[in-house]
Amino acid sequence: MSRARTVLFWVAAAALLAGHVVVVWHSLVTRPFWEDEAFNLTVPRNLLAGLGYASDGALSGSTITPFDPRISTGPVVLLPVAATLATGMDPVLAARLIPIAFWALLVAGLAVLGWRIAGPGASLLAAAVPLAFTADAGVSPIQGPADLLGEIPAAALLVWALVVLQRRPWLAGLLVGLAVQAKLIALLALPAFAVALWVLADGSGWARIRRTLRRSWLPLALVALPTALLEFAALLSLGPAAFVDHLRELIRFVRSGGQGDAGTTVVQKLATLADSWSVPAAVAIVGAALAIGLAATGVVRRWRSARESDRAVIAYALAAAVGALAFLGWWATASRLPLWVRHPAPGILAFFPILATVAVWSATRVVDRGWARIAAAVLALIVAAAAVVHVTTASAPRPLTLDQQRHAAAQIAEWVEGNDVTWIAAEPWGIAVAPVVLAGAHLGLHDAPAMADVPRLTGAACTTETLVDAGLYRICAAP
């Protein structure tokens, strides 16, 4: 690069890093601890209390539930959280530092892939795409990079699996297996890696297929290894009969997505996706069309005469296309799933940035025409604009902040400790969940039979005796 381009690159890189820091900081210290985060935190907390790898079972009868199928965020995330929690630091910070580390890995992995594909400018573009994406709308959001959820860790591990795939396919397989044990839905990425291995294999026809199969058996075995180890631990912990019940519940949860029939349509899902960027939906659609069109043009033109370096780019491009289609196709066609873009988020965060960088490769190294370069520049401007808007809105006032939540939970915690309370039932699932966990009690749900005589925590007025009034929340006597 020339001196001017080098200076421009580092100025842009510093601005991008600052944007990520702003979003991460607000996600860590201002966003409230919401119900899915709190439910996930019950697992490392119970592990440290000697209760095993178990949740409080708030969605499974409100009893301690080992290897709870309703906890789809896996041990790859929750075991490190147990380690940070063991240091004695604030539980929210302990919980959220691990997802932040995975966010850093995601951005770094995308930057590496972007540089490989199309150089330094594409590296910045790849690292900016996750900052342009927002999944904080609706009742099941990803508020930000710090949320104690498995989607971002799964995406980070999938990206690094692509980084190492060409030279170390066995390690790529292990990383995909770990992604599955960060978030079960990462299983949908398997076809993407199968296609990438096929593109990277030498030869043609059946010879190429045979080489792909020979190269795939070890990565595939390593994909299964983390899940096999977890289920073996479950078998030893639960015993054969309970383990069979556990598997049945797990299969039922995976097939249903943990939801009833939401009655959503493909058009509604795609509209929700278009709205999940920090620019108007029409602008996001233009950006997607530019990325897909340019990437497809480059792959088609270089398909037959690809050099070794081009073959790697084509492998990344096809893996990203198949991966994105797998996640979005599953979500969009599953009418039972609500309009929560969090569901396909691992595929969006892992694969959309790669399609954008392949578009730059196509525009600058394959097509290399004025119109293509202009199209790539427009795509970059759309991503940059969305990232800037996301950063500027990260500090916008929210109806509830983490500090407010902590203050109220501290009053409840004082009452819990003074009255030797073990369980509190949240009423209903939602705003009442996190303060139960932050107060140090076990989390139940108000309509579970096991919670019949347990005090309730609610954000509404008590219909029975008010035991504690913490402003935002109240503890009510059992009915």
The answer to whether residue 252 sits within a structural domain is yes
The answer to whether residue 185 sits within a structural domain is yes
Query: Same domain for 389 and 413?
Result: no
The answer to whether residue 62 sits within a structural domain is no
Q: Please give the residue range of the domain that contains residue 296.
A: 3-30+72-393
Of 196, 381, 210, give the one whose Cα is nearest residue 284. 381
Within 10 Å of residue 4's Cβ, how many Cβ atoms?
8
The answer to whether residue 60 sits within a structural domain is no
The answer to whether residue 48 sits within a structural domain is no
In the block, which residue shows the tokens 């003074």?
418
**How far apart are the C-alpha atoms of 409 and 432, rounded to whole Å?**
10
Query: Same domain for 248 and 124?
Result: yes
Contacts 24+ apart (CB under 8 A), 362-367: 362/294, 362/295, 362/297, 362/298, 362/299, 362/301, 363/294, 363/298, 364/118, 364/119, 365/118, 365/298, 366/297, 366/298, 366/301, 366/302, 367/294, 367/297, 367/298, 367/301
Burial classification of residue 21, based on how many CB atoms lie within 10 Å of its CB (0-12 exposed, 13-18 middle, 19 or more buried):
exposed
**How far apart are the C-alpha atoms of 239 and 250, rounded to whole Å?**
16
**How far apart are the C-alpha atoms of 291 and 386, rounded to whole Å?**
15
List per-residue pLDDT tens for the chain, 479 residues long.
678 888 999 999 999 999 999 999 999 999 999 999 999 999 999 999 999 999 999 998 999 999 999 999 999 999 999 999 999 999 999 999 999 999 999 999 999 999 999 999 999 999 999 999 999 877 888 999 999 999 999 999 999 999 999 999 999 999 999 999 999 999 999 999 999 999 988 777 777 778 878 888 999 999 999 999 999 999 999 999 999 999 998 888 877 766 666 688 999 999 999 999 999 999 999 999 999 999 999 999 988 765 777 889 999 999 999 999 999 999 999 888 889 999 999 999 999 999 999 999 999 999 989 999 999 999 999 999 999 999 999 988 888 999 999 999 999 999 999 999 999 999 989 999 999 999 999 999 999 999 999 999 999 999 999 999 999 999 999 98
pTM of the model: 0.96
Query: Same domain for 177 and 274?
Result: yes
Query: Same domain for 364 and 458?
Result: no
Tally the domains of the chain.
Answer: 2
The answer to whether residue 452 sits within a structural domain is yes
Query: Same domain for 273 and 372?
Result: yes
- Given 333, 364, 393, the domain boundary residue is 393
DSSP 420: T
Q: Where are the beta strands (DSSP E) in 313-409?
A: none
**How far apart are the C-alpha atoms of 448 and 462, rounded to whole Å?**
18
